Amino acid sequence: MIKRMLLAVCIAIFYLLQADAQINYGTTGLMNMPTADMQRDKTFMAGGNWLNHHTTVPRWWYDTWNYYINITIFPWLEAGYLCTGHKAVPVDYGDRKGYWVPSTYGKFINQDRSFHFRLRVWKEGWWKEWTPQIVLGANDAIGDSWNGGSLSKPSDLNYGNGFLNRYYLAITKHVEFKSLGTLGAHLTWIYSNRFDNKLNNPAFGVNFRFQLKKNDSWVYKAVNGVNLMAEVVPGYTDVGEDLTFNPDGPKYQVNLGMKYSVWKDHVNAVVEFNRCRYFSCGIYFKVHLK
């Protein structure tokens, strides 16, 4: 009986969860790792997520949410706009005391806005069948984050946020297994000069999208289209409620997740287990404008 219940739960999860929008950034990728995958030309996406604080960058030491819009303008260019919820707190990030009105403490009353871009510089299989796809990208690139972010100077009134700032080079290669699915292998180099989240590290990831041979069995209906993901990414610096950094935070972390198209790839759901245990989830909508 218990085994049957567990099987039913797994099937339900699979049935709810195929697309490629990162849960933190609203751009194409795995969960928090950029990949060199690209959406179809003129693809428009809009979505939102609930994020456990372990999933986010150091600025958000509390659970939060985000929402975004994203469009692949050309088959080689993608752009996105993301908003992330801010709570009013007694001492805000960067030691900004008294910034919020006390009666608003603990409430979401503001949003961080950021822009994201991706450029495909080499298409998979252009030269030889085995050659991978290559993408250059930037998250939250507008601001002074290349120089460490102006929040590293709290006395400066011209705050350049760039909380999600990073730049990356992503390489992706796919291998198809007939009547079973497609395996994606991803290698990405991520760079950020944020004073609170300096990165110059590689990330590794794989995903497997089931594409079973069509039949009338419940296995085909439940499993076909499931996109299972795993990634090893540079660990975010842990920040406590008192805004102190944890010097012993993880150098790398392993994240697991699933994605699935609920309805014809127009309505999609995603779940993530950050560090294999902290749960986040989201939903997004996708349409092709031509």
Q: Mind giving me the DSSP string for 112-169?
A: EEEEEEEEEEE-TTSSSTT--EEEEEEES-SSSGGGT-GGGSTT-SS----TT-EEEE
Query: Which pLDDT score, from 0 to 100, does residue 196 have?
Result: 74
pLDDT above 90 coverage of the chain, percent: 50
- Per-residue confidence band for 220, with pLDDT thresholds at 50, 70 and 90: confident
> pTM for the full model?
0.83
Q: Is the dihedral of CA 242, 244, 250, 256 positive or negative?
A: positive
Q: How many Å apart are CA 145 and CA 39, to the nearest integer?
A: 27
Residue 274 buriedness (CB in 10 A; 0-12 / 13-18 / 19+):
buried
Q: Is the dihedral of CA 113, 122, 32, 220 positive or negative?
A: positive
In this structure, of 79-88, 139-148, 240-249, the range with the lowest mean pLDDT score is: 240-249
The tens digit of pLDDT for each residue in 95-117 reads 566 678 888 999 999 898 999 99
Q: How many Å apart are CA 17 and CA 224, to the nearest integer?
A: 11
Query: Which pLDDT score, from 0 to 100, does residue 245 have?
Result: 59
Number of domains present in the structure of the chain:
1
Q: Is 221 helix (H, G, I), strand (E, B) or coil?
A: helix
Domain that holds residue 16: 2-288
pLDDT at residue 6 greater than cutoff 80: no
Q: Could you give the count of Cα atoms lying within 13 Å of 102 in the half-sphere of its Cβ?
A: 0
CATH of the domain at 249: 2.40.160.40
Tokens, residue 38: 């690209």
pLDDT at residue 264 greater than cutoff 90: no
Residue 69 vs residues 29, 177, 254, 263: alpha-carbon distances, Å: 15, 33, 27, 19
In this structure, of 24-38, 76-90, 249-263, the range with the lowest mean pLDDT score is: 249-263
Radius of gyration of the chain (CA): 20
